[in-house]
Structures are given as C-alpha cells and as structure tokens.
Amino acid sequence: MLPVYPVGTEMISSNLGVGRKDGLVIYFHGGMPIYSHLESDYRSFRFITSKFILQGLCRKVDISDCFHVTYDSVKRYVRRLEECGDSGFFTNDKRNGGSRYKLLPEVIDRMQRYLDDGKSNSEIARLEHVTEGAVRYSIRTGVLKKRLFSGNPYLQEAIEPNAVSPMHTGHWV
C-alpha cells in the first residue's frame, strides 16, 4: 500500500513531507505525522530539520530547497546538533535574550571603563574581539555612554558652549 499524504503537503524528499494547518507546521513520514511545531518556533524548526538530516530522511540541500533557507545555515544547525545535541537548540542564550550580539554584561562593563579612560572605538573593539560596528551600535543605542570630555584641555575649549573659534570671529589668525 502506498503512503497517502494530506492535501497541500509539500514533499521534502521522496518519503518526507511537510504541511501547515492552523498555525502549526506538521512533518509527515510515509504519510504519518511524526513531528509538529508552531510556525513561529524557529528553534524547533532548526532542531527537527537537522535531526531529519542526521537520521538520513533527507539531505541538507532538500531542506534548503524546500524551505528557502541558505545551505550554509542548514549546515551550521546540523553541526550544532552533532556537537551540542538537543540542548544546543533549547537552552537559553547567555546574551541577554539575544538582544546584543556578543556583548555579555561583563563585556559591556569593561567596554564602558575603556570609554571612560578615553580609548577609541577601534581600540575597544580590538581589545574585546568584537567589530567596531558593535561598539558604535552600543553607543548609538545608549548601552554604552561616551563622554565628550576626556581630560584633554584643548578638547574642553572646543566643546564649551561659549567658546568661539578664531575661524568664526571674522579675524585671520
């Protein structure tokens, strides 16, 4: 007897299919439902598709083609399942809910001390092994506070509100 799949099932491989119903994604093997998760649950999606690949039910390229995700991301999550197991997908991230890439609270504290000491964004990025863009983003969003005056008396004159530059007085120096 041939396996019968529900109407609207998209085949991932010759014996593995996927369908959607009422906000759920349902996976079928041989016509029988074997796993389901919410459409918005990306962790479960990454976990189960990686599991299917490791079980030999489909190939990485099948997942990539069926779900329109990059082949590299599929490879990355298969490797995560191989190295970390199931917990690699379902344990909480240590990055404050994933809101700031690579910036743990202790890293932010050190970066703020560097800023207070007058170090440049590029120096801080090099010291903390993050991109300079991550430092700039943290400053722009208010996670890090950059002081205008860093102890240099020449800079203090330039940022005082009543200080007038010789260029703006109309007189040549």
Pairing outcome for strands 24-29 and 16-21: antiparallel
Tell me the two tokens of residue 50.
């990686």
> Residue 100 carries which DSSP code?
S
Kindly give the confidence (pLDDT) of every residue in the chain, 173 residues in length, as a single tens digit, with 9 standing for 90 and above. Answer: 678 888 889 999 999 999 999 999 999 998 899 999 999 999 999 999 999 999 999 999 999 999 999 999 999 999 999 998 988 888 876 655 544 466 888 889 999 999 999 899 999 999 988 888 889 988 988 889 887 655 555 554 444 445 454 555 554 44
d(CA 165, CA 28): 74
Domain spans of the chain, in order of start: 10-90, 105-168
Q: Are 18 and 10 contacting, i.e. CB atoms less than 8 angstroms apart? A: yes
User: Backbone phi, then psi, for 145, in 5-degree steps?
Assistant: -110, 120
The reported pTM is: 0.55
